[in-house]
Amino acid sequence: MKRKSISIMAMGLMVALLLGISLLAAPAKAQTKLSYANFPPAPTFPCVQMERWKTEVEKKTGGKVKVDTYPGGTLLTAKNMFDGVIAGTADIGCLATSYQPGAFPVVEAVDLPLGWPNAAVASATLWDLVDKYKPKEFEKVKVLTMFTCPPANIMSMKAIRSLGDIKGYELRASGTGAKILELLGAAPVAMPQSDVPEALQKGVIKGNVSSMEVLKDFKYAEYCRHVTGNVNLFVVSFAVVMNQAKWNSLPDDVKKVMDGLRKEQAIWTGQYVDNHVIEALKWSKETFKDFQMYSLTKDELSKWYALLKPMADKYLKDYEAKGLPTKAILDDVTKLKEKYSKDYAK
């Protein structure tokens, strides 16, 4: 009896041992790894939103997805971001659609000089617009989110309070912004944001027209002690897109997590960078005692926007001729701007 008990125990130990070995030998649960490319430096808001998205996806998928991020153009640059994602060089990429005039006509409606109050309103509007019209220019990718920078204002070496002050003045702008400055009578200079500090230092340009978080992020306040802060000339639109084949390969539960973040991420990014503008202005005032801010009078502002009206007229005419329902698009933009201004404009 005793010998039988020992035999049963031995068999039990053998089964347990074999079971343990089989568990150890079983392959670990596969983890999906995704590469996410971005072109600005890591501290800037497009990369801050990238890190936030990565954290949310990894958390909400319970670790099933691991996202490796590549800021600062280390994987893809601003110029080859869209094509690079389509080709699969990166699984995900963040591109500035405004840097490619004519390539994203539906998005271009948001980039027009419409007096956006802040990035949260513009970002929520942009997301709804793209979600409704599903532009064919995005048909080769999966759009994960859309957002804009805050409205562009004028950071300069002298006070700008009128059209006379801006006439012939060398100001840096990108994309749509260069055309806007041209219509206002300035002397626009196109260059990447990364080249602006040296250009300011050498006097190649006398200021920058963009969203104002760069006063701190790129230390522009060191050179541009004057800010005309209520013109809100334009926004720069961004899209975060995923390689379509990679999207198709994802499990349904992972797709659900990412789809659930699309609009939330747009609004989060807008609110984050709007707050960052407030911080940058505060930092500029505290760091440079001669830093000054100005607001155009209502009459002066109306003169500026009267000069810019032809841009919307041209958009309507040019893209309507190409079969785009431009009037409906601009009507939607106006309605969405009014709607989200009630929720997010301060």
Q: Is residue 117 within 8 Å of residue 341, measured between CB atoms?
A: yes
Measured CA angle at 317 (ends 312, 318), to 5 deg: 100
- Residue 237's nearest CA partner among 171, 339, 152, 156 is 152
Cα–Cα–Cα angle for 116, 119, 120, rounded to 5 degrees:
110
**Residue at 290 is within a domain:** no
Residue 119 lies in a domain: yes
Strand pairing of 170-172 and 141-148?
A: unpaired
Beta bridge pairs of residue 36:
69, 92
Task: Answer yes or no: are the C-beta atoms of 172 and 192 closer than 8 Å.
Answer: no
> What was the pLDDT predicted at 280?
97
Count Cβ atoms within 10 A of the Cβ of residue 317 and give its class: 0-12 exposed, 13-18 middle, 19 or more buried. exposed
* pLDDT of res. 11: 55
State how far the Cα of 249 lies from the Cα of 38, in Å rounded to an integer.
22
Q: Note whether residue 203 is domain-resident.
A: no
Place of tokens 């805050």: 150
Q: Is the pTM of this model over 0.75?
A: yes
* Residue 68 included in any domain: yes
What CATH number is attached to the domain comprising 137? Answer: 3.40.190.170
Q: Which domain holds residue 73?
A: 32-148+235-281
Q: What is the pLDDT of residues 66-85, one digit of tens each?
A: 999 999 999 999 999 999 99
Within a domain: residue 271? Answer: yes
In residues, how long is the chain? 346
Question: Which stretch of DSSP H or E encloses residue 133?
Answer: helix 119-133
Establish if 84 belongs to a structural domain: yes
Instruction: Name the stretches of the chain with pLDDT < 70.
Output: 1-30, 346
- 171, 186 contact by CB (below 8 A): yes
Nearest CA among 229, 204, 333 for reference residue 291? 229
Q: Name the domain count of the chain.
A: 1
DSSP H/E element including 112: none
Task: Look at residue 192 in the predicted model and tell me its pLDDT.
Answer: 78
| Radius of gyration from C-alpha coordinates of the chain | 26
Do residues 70 and 36 lie in contact, with contact meaning Cβ atoms separated by under 8 Å? Answer: yes
Which of 124, 160, 157 is CA-nearest to residue 264?
124
In a domain, 26, yes or no: no
Question: Is residue 202 within 8 Å of 234, Cβ to Cβ?
Answer: no
Has residue 332 been placed in a domain?
no
